[in-house]
Structure 1
Amino acid sequence: MRKMWKRALAGVLTASMALSLAACGGSSSNGGSSADGSTTLEVWSSNLSDSQRENVKKLVAQYEEQTGVKVNYTEFSYDMLHDKILSAAAGGNTPDVAWGLPEWTGEFHSMGILEDLSDRYANWDDASVLSDAVMKGMSIGDEIIGVPYEMTVRAYLCHENIMKKGGASVPATWDDVLSMTDFKDKTGTYPYALACTGVRAPQEMIVYLAQKGLEICSLQDDGMYKNTWKDNADQLAAAADVFQFYKDCIDSGVVDPNSKSFGYEETDDNFVNGFSASYVTGNWLQEKEDANPEVMSDVTVEPIPVPEGGTPATYMELKPLFLFNTSKNNDAAFDFATYVCGKEWQQGVYSSASPRSDVTVPGKWTEDFQALSDNGVAFPPVTLGSISQAMIDSIAKVLQEGMTPQAAAEWLADAVNTSLEESGELSAS
């Protein structure tokens, strides 16, 4: 499998130039020792906001002063960062530390370029402030493959005033949601919302699947992955129930019928403007409360409704710092990565989205969201591009093409395994 990735890497083009922090160097070469014998770390970061950048400048300067290590800290967009890592890996010239997205974890692990950090974690005291869900998100099998730098979870946001107007309590189950058939007539507002297209759709679906005890694909005994729904009648029936929930939401009128083509832009905007009374989304809507207090001041943060007998779950987007096994500075790289995950950096840069249990900001947009993190689920560490698209397509097959929920579950199971086979990640079991 890794030979296949090496062939693919040979065709990757070098990414475009990136913006560097003014206080730091911008070399794109592998870190190492300078002429005076000191250590230089090459660190590739995602783009920062202006306020984050100012804090990072100070924190990097402080780290350099405290350790004597020089940090070349360079910012890239995520798209550029991904391509640049691929290009660098093809040339055996990776950075020491790179910001990443969870979608890349399986890809980079399959390429064999990530350092296994398990032994380093065993001697890292601050690892104790990372929850089991966070640690699971940083692991593939028995290997720990990253240090978390940012975490967001989804919550079920409700407009309390609109719910009261409709005479409804916050729904706790799928059946509660589907019972709100007269809510639109009472309030002029749809009680629920779904994203059925775009990047949000798979993130929502993975939660509904997890609530039914399902994974989009699961780790097998041979260390590879497989969708097992068609091997187990109960799993296939549970997956069909998820598609039935989508269909029932549309057919019962509890969501806007145009939701069939809605992505995150439409669903977030509809909630912010009071066109839907509730929606599963993230704490980035806090800024909308500041901009639109008349509508958003009544928002409450709730657990996502579950099916009867189901398991509480929410989507966790856990972003890793990657360390590479070609680095000449593995010890210093891990030290810097744990500095980024440390309390001071997290409070200064990621206070509202920290993976640490001891970093929080008072208020519903942080504390209430973080309270749901123990039920966080994430995508498995496999190549996700085709799998995510298949999840989107499967929703369309039910809502737009009239495919039955059972047939859609079977179709998606086959599509996932086809994708895994093409990426060399399909289990033979």
Structure 2
Amino acid sequence: MTSDTILTATGRWRLLGRDGHLRSIPPYGRVDRSVRVITDFEDAHIGVLRFEGKPQYARAIIERHVRDAGWVEGPSHVIIHRLNRHHGGGQAFFTAVTLAVWQRTLDWARLQRRHCLILPLGALLAGPGGPRARILHLGPRLRCFADTDQGMRFEDVFAGGGGTDAQRRAARTLGTSLAALKPAGNDTAATFPHIEWLAADTDSPAREEALADEVRAVAGATVTVSAARPFRDPEGSHGDDGIHSALPAHVERLGAGAAVNPIVERIAWWSEAWAMPVVAGVAALALGLAVAGHYARTLADDEVARARALDDRIAQRESALEAARRPDADDRLRRVSEFVTALARGIAYSPAVVLRDVRDAAAPPLAIHRVRIKRDRQGRYHLRVDGIDRSRDASAAVRAFLTALRRRGWQSQPLEPASSAPGSFSYRLTRQEREA
């Protein structure tokens, strides 16, 4: 589902609308629409940690480590974006959020009129798959997450001063860090087959290409700059040109699975996102079934009408033959009369009528494998029906099948099943009114 995106970072809340408008909103203010919120949790700590112990205890291990190291003051909530398991432990890419900020963010999302997905910056860096390295340029900072053959690596480079020269120095510093991951005797491009550059709030896409070139030159890796969409501020508070951002398209690809909302809220978001497509699909399916049913019923009615008309014509021919029969009639007239009589007896076994009656009577879990029309030596017709019942109470399902056939004028007689599979059955069916 396409929605608006809220970017919260460095204390600012900005709404990137589907209409291409850029708006500043108060922190934790009311929103009247469904949004995806990409947030740094008020500059929460993001990092990579290699640990010893069972991976299922990774959150507790990381929480204790960041508290002991002083990266987060007091209790925190740990969000793991990617976890690689190793023998005796693992390595995790995570965000550690103070409990106060964590609770305040979730409470804000829960109190909104519409569903709001909360997506951490770390989830955006880890991505839904695809590239093994991603650089996010947000404000004066360059954040990079890389998942290489030597393990995961996270870099956070701050461009002091915020000018173009400072940003280029930061890009070269980041490129140097990436180049340091190059294994001895290997090509860096093999370690980083694809680095994706995301600009969150740039005012110059050309400058983003220049900064990416700095990383390419120093790291010797392939860097692709994602297309950034322009967002204009109708009030002009962000300058005449507004900003360009590649975030909305990438945030939508994350999906509800990367959100930190409780599972009930994520399911509600997913349900709302698929409500209209599901309704449209069900409506189309219902319409198709209605048309198909009407068409099938029309064909069946036409077949029955033709069978009845043929029955009437045969009856007329029989009457004419009886009236025209003479004592000295030859043998050909007798054979014609027998053929017509046999044909009249078979009218009740018209394929359309037979298949309709058997199909309507055989409800799941019964499966009809074969329906055959047979004729005995006396010229009388009957049906042989072979099928299988996979229900737990086979006798009840078969009784219901025979009862439904009896209501349609069929008399049943059990036969030796054609198959030895469990639940197999065979019956001889005759028309009561025809056999009388």
Which TM-score bucket, shorter chain as reference? Answer: under 0.3
TM-score by length of 1: 0.19
TM-score by length of 2: 0.19
By relative contact order (CA 8 Å, sep 6+), the higher-ranking structure is 1
